Amino acid sequence: MKRVLLSLAALMLLTATVGRASEPENRPLYLNPDAPIEERVEDALSRMTLREKIAIIHAQSKFSAPGAPRLGIAELWCTDGPHGIRPEVLWDEWDQARWTNDSCTAYPALTCLAATWNRDAAKLYGVSIGEEARYREKDVLLGPGVNIYRTPLCGRNFEYMGEDPFLAAEMVVPYIQGVQEQGVAACVKHYALNNEEQHRHTTDVDLSDRALFEIYLPAFKAAVTEGKVWSIMGSFNKYRGTHACHNHRLLNEILKDNWGFDGAVISDWGGTHSTDEAIRNGLDLEFGSWTDGLREGASNAYDMYYMAQPYLERIERGEIGTEELDDKVRRVLRLTFRTAMNNDKPYGSMCNEAHTEAARHIGEEGVVLLKNANHNLPICPDAKRILVVGENAIKMMTVGGGSSSLKVKQEVSPLDGIKSYYAGRAEVIYARGYVGDVTGSYNGVVTGQDLRDKRSPKRLIEEAVELAGTADHVIFIGGLNKSEHQDCEGADRKGLELPYNQDDVIEALADASDHLTVVLITGNAVTMPWLERVESVVQGWYLGSESGNILASVLSGEVNPSGKLPFTFGHRLEDYGAHSDGAHFPNHDKVFYHDGIFVGYRGFEKRNIEPLFSFGHGLSYTSFDYSNLQLSKREICDGESIEVRLTVRNSGGCRGKEVVQLYVADCEASLPRPVKELKGFTKVDLEAGESTEVCFTIGRDALCYYDDIRGEWIAEAGEFKVMVGASSADIRLVESFMLR
């Protein structure tokens, strides 16, 4: 608020002393800040010099753009997300500014948010992180990410919302709305086709239009048309030979012309490569360019950015006009008036109790119970000694992983959370089990943990096995981490298996204990050669500040798990379409998405491959029955809709939440279509024995496919099936109807 008021004061002073003589006599010197934004945009644009217009469309520092000081137009400040507000960095470098008041609340990773299948949780996430961004005087939150989970090796999958375009679209909209209600712009990323990291600056993606529109763009479209997002970030990779940050088809034709996006397109940091393409092809605001031969990311000559002096010189030489420039400036001004110069935005708040509770609630909703043989979980209340094994039980996971790395006010480790919960009830002991990554720093944020351990893998396993024989319940907490070639920006995984000899540790513990639970802290699928030998498996994600408390509440039964997988777990890498038929990965240059629309469960079902765990899978400590599926009509014409109703009953012994999933199958399509596609979901909360009616509406959008030849969405006449169940592989009820 202080920055905005200063900007307004500066504007009044400047216009009173400088601009009076050049203004028409009857023209107001300053347009009322309560006037419609479009009037303010046009007024500001008309007052700007050419150099001011050029200045406003590129960075002045690592994370800010300059505005127009002469006119009192505020700077724009960006911050990385999407899981928390990044600590402050130096003006011109990535190194920490070493503030003492820039710690944040870390929220669960977006894979966990997607696993909640809960739109209310997404809204809470957006509101909470938006409040922290607002308090820190940030105008643009660089997130959320909605790129599709095409391969489990993509290092950045943990920042995205899974493999299904419908699920990602439904979850991103309330997140955006929550953030922007705080006067902070969401910046949905990475548009588009950012599905691998290792060679992200050179990878050139090609795919069918059908795959583009059915799989990879729906979440971005929903962000624009439903979420009304104020900014979009382009991706590093190329699409059909042109970088996505200045790609005419993606930005001008699809985003701006077809979808009507009125916000600003922001380059990823270093994603701009050409002045001429940036001018013509839809980029509005340039950040992070590496120019003039300077070392990458170390220092920037801002006047030498592609959309700075080189752009200005082309105009001054008369080579181009200012039509494109004025459009870019309008978009940046619109973004500024919606955020930095929005006098009605709330004050925000930081690291408060409400945010801690929000982070915990979202995590508890997203934890997925994958397996639970013999009711091994929740941990028996009579357990007197609990053994926790694994490096991920003690390693901080908020530091590292790339631009989403955070500096947190607190992070409760899984071990500390379990110890705290069972204090006075059971003894909790710990064994390392394995040594993975003992480092703990990123861009100057240091965890302070000393995780070094010189013992041999054999001795570490022996210690864990010895202690397991004395424990009533053993909890192995492992998985991946945020180091390079695991879950990390800028690099991809090298395989699907668990690293650091963890499979051997789990096998040894299975020999030693009849009550073994494996908790996986990952943002990606992993293989589980030991699955049949362990009683319980929990997908724990990266859970942020409240990680340990979240896991303790679920393992103990205080919270009944209700998360569902947002992507499919395969038995082996070749089960995924991106890796079938000898497909190369990672890709240095050109890559064609030969799997087309058959991504995730669509591909598994097309190729008749049984997954390790299916899309939408997730167990509970109670059980749910589905019955009485009814359709409002058995025949509809194109343009009409059908109501789908069913009854869900909690048939178990405790309160729980169930995600009811609706899939649609096209039985008579002239083009290949998936066996079924997710077209609806809702999460219900039921006491033991309680029932509720669930209702969905199926309209034309749920029946269409994209026709590459005609360039439009088609709903073909014929038979369709409505399939309702607890996962893509657990369909409980089926009915048919005809589209005439």
CA terminus-to-terminus distance, the chain: 57
Give the integer Cα–Cα distance in Å for 79 and 276.
28
Pairing of strands 76-80, 140-142: parallel
Could you give the 3-state DSSP secondary structure of residue 382?
coil
Give the integer Cα–Cα distance in Å for 349 and 594.
47
Exposure on the CB side of residue 26, measured as CA atoms within 13 A: 0
Query: Taking a C-beta distance cutoff of 8 angstroms, is the pair 665, 699 a contact?
Result: no
Phi-psi region of 555 (alpha: psi -120 to 50; beta: other; left: phi over 0): alpha
Amino acid at 220: F
Q: Is 268 a catalytic residue?
A: yes
Angle at 624 between CA 108 and CA 642, to 5 degrees: 90
Q: Which two tokens stand for residue 710?
A: 């005609």
With helix as H, strand as E and coil as C, how does 583-613 read?
A: CCCCCCCEEECCCCCCCCHHHHHHCCCCCCE
586: cis peptide before it, omega within 30°?
yes
CB neighbourhood size of 361 (10 A): 21
DSSP state of 411: -
Give the integer Cα–Cα distance in Å for 356 and 376.
29
Query: Taking a C-beta distance cutoff of 8 angstroms, is the pair 402, 358 a contact?
Result: no
User: What Å distances lie between residue 172 and 121, 144, 230, 574, CA to CA?
Assistant: 11, 7, 13, 30
Give the integer Cα–Cα distance in Å for 255 and 597.
21
Q: Which two tokens stand for residue 102?
A: 């820039």
- Name the phi and psi angles at 8, rounded to 5: -65, -40
Which residues in 464-476 are b (16+ Cβ under 10 Å) and which e?
A: bbebbeebbbbbb
Whether the CA torsion 195, 201, 202, 207 is positive or negative: it is: positive
Give the integer Cα–Cα distance in Å for 421 and 417.
6
Exposure on the CB side of residue 383, measured as CA atoms within 13 A: 26
Which one from 268, 284, 492, 575 is the annotated catalytic residue?
Answer: 268
Helix (H) or strand (E) segment spanning residue 213:
none
Query: Taking a C-beta distance cutoff of 8 angstroms, is the pair 243, 196 a contact?
Result: no
3-state helix, strand, coil in the chain (%, to 5): 30, 20, 50
Strand order in the sheet with 264-266: 64-65, 76-80, 140-142, 185-191, 231-234, 264-266
For the annotated catalytic residues, the residue numbers are: 268
